Amino acid sequence: MGLSMTDEGNTLPQHVAIIMDGNGRWAKAQGLSRVEGHRKGAGRVRDVVEWASDAGVKQVSLYAFSTENWKRPKSEVTALMTLMATLLPLEIKRMNERGARLLTLGDTSKLPWIARKALDKTCKATENNSNIDVILCLNYGGHQEILEGVKQFCASFHDDISKTEALKHLNEDMFRSLLGRDHILPVDLLIRTGGERRISNFHLWDAAYAELYFTDRLWPEYNKTDFHAALDDFASRERRFGRTSEQLKGEIEDE
Ligand code: IPE
Ligand code: IPE
Ligand code: MG
């Protein structure tokens, strides 16, 4: 798996990131509790992994709990963690059949013990799979992650000489390593459901050149047609990565 930005001309995103939003509003519209919305939303997580792997996507990252979501009512946070801890291990068989490997992003050490246990178990049970990576982003925040990388970098200095040397050599690839991202591809397509047009602290580093796709569909009702509409839209975009359209079409030579 290469780690460079997806080549221009690729019509299928290698890494799709999804902000799964709208569980609460969906539940409210049905006269249900927010937790019921999250439960219904969990079913779509399973589905989207299937649709993505069938389409040939290599990595799908799913925003499941942000560093900001701790501000929610304690009962909702507990219910979300319990839901994850209960449902995740039940997916192991299906993930193994699909060749799906579970990875995480975010500081999972701060999650409740039952959630950590379920994650460890599922990550271990699927670690040899190689068709698709399912990256669950939990207690994840783009700011927090970049700060952590900077802290690690500073902690590696022993003296002023090593600091000067390190700063001289620091480049994007090294910084990505500091963020613990050697195995994460740049985000090609970032989808947000639920109607909001914002990134909410997701994938600040990896989504630098992501194509953004927003849909009003609430996450519990997200369906295969919606997912394919996003893939089709991605295929129609011209990813220029700073170049001109004429350069990409080969109408003028690179100098
Ligand atoms: C997204 O749905 C799920 C999480 C943030 C865990 P929300 O719970 O944010 O749903 P809305 O935005 O209130 O509808
Ligand atoms: C973003 O959704 C986080 C997740 C989907 C886990 P939120 O619903 O928490 O986002 P904001 O706060 O409305 O932007
Ligand atoms: Mg929301």
Catalytic residues: 21, 69
Across 167-178, average pLDDT = 91
Across 238-255, average pLDDT = 90
Across 90-102, average pLDDT = 98
- Determine, yes or no, domain membership for 251: no
**Residue 1 scores a pLDDT above 90:** no
> Where does the pLDDT of residue 52 fall: very low under 50, low under 70, confident under 90, or very high at 90 and above?
very high
- Determine, yes or no, domain membership for 173: no
How far apart (Å, rounded) are the C-alpha atoms in residues 84 and 79? Answer: 9
pLDDT of residue 3: 41
Range of the structural domain that residue 234 is part of: 15-143+186-239
| Nearest atom in ligand 1 to 38's CA | 3
Q: Find out whether 111 and 81 touch, Cβ atoms under 8 Å.
A: yes
pLDDT of residue 10: 80
Q: Which residues surround ligand 3, an ion (CB under 5 A)?
A: 21
Q: Is 220 in the pocket of ligand 1 (CB under 6 A)?
A: no
Distance of CA 95 from the midpoint of ligand 2 (Å): 26
pLDDT, tens only, 194-218: 999 999 999 999 999 999 999 999 9
Q: Is 17 in the pocket of ligand 2 (CB under 6 A)?
A: no
Nearest CA to ligand 2 atom 12: 200
Q: What is the 3-state secondary structure of 63-77?
A: EEEEHHHHHCCHHHH
pLDDT, tens only, 218-244: 999 999 999 999 999 999 999 999 999
Among 132-136, 147-151, 157-161, 236-240, where is mean pLDDT lowest? 157-161
> Where does the pLDDT of residue 6 fall: very low under 50, low under 70, confident under 90, or very high at 90 and above?
very low
Alpha helices in the chain (DSSP H): 23-30, 34-55, 74-87, 92-98, 113-126, 142-155, 160-169, 172-178, 224-235, 245-248
Q: What is the DSSP letter of 46?
A: H
What is the helix (H) or strand (E) element at residue 203, kind and residue range?
Answer: none
- Determine, yes or no, domain membership for 97: yes
Enter the pTM of the model: 0.95
**Residue 255 scores a pLDDT above 90:** no
- Determine, yes or no, domain membership for 88: yes
List, in sequence order, every residue forming a beta bridge with 138; answer none if it has no partner.
65
Q: Find out whether 119 and 89 touch, Cβ atoms under 8 Å.
A: no
**Of residues 2, 28, 32, the one with CA closest to residue 14:** 2
Distance of CA 165 from the midpoint of ligand 2 (Å): 40
Distance of CA 35 from the midpoint of ligand 1 (Å): 10
Q: Is 65 in the pocket of ligand 2 (CB under 6 A)?
A: yes
**Residue 2 scores a pLDDT above 70:** no
Q: Which ligand is nearest to the CA of 200?
A: 2
- Determine, yes or no, domain membership for 176: no
Q: Is 21 in the pocket of ligand 2 (CB under 6 A)?
A: yes
Query: Which percentage of the chain shows pLDDT scores above 70?
Result: 96
> Where does the pLDDT of residue 9 fall: very low under 50, low under 70, confident under 90, or very high at 90 and above?
low
Q: Is 69 in the pocket of ligand 2 (CB under 6 A)?
A: yes
Q: Find out whether 83 and 35 touch, Cβ atoms under 8 Å.
A: yes
Residue 36 maps to which CATH number?
A: 3.40.1180.10
pLDDT, tens only, 154-171: 888 888 888 888 889 899
Task: Provide the mean pLDDT of the chain.
Answer: 94
Cβ within 8 Å of residue 70, ≥6 positions away: 77, 139
Cβ within 8 Å of residue 176, ≥6 positions away: 3, 182, 205
Q: How many domains does the chain have?
A: 1
- Determine, yes or no, domain membership for 169: no
Tokens of residue 78, six digits: 């507990």
| Nearest atom in ligand 1 to 22's CA | 14
pLDDT of residue 161: 84
> Where does the pLDDT of residue 49 fall: very low under 50, low under 70, confident under 90, or very high at 90 and above?
very high
The CA distances from residue 197 to 57, 139, 194, 215, in Å, are: 24, 21, 9, 9
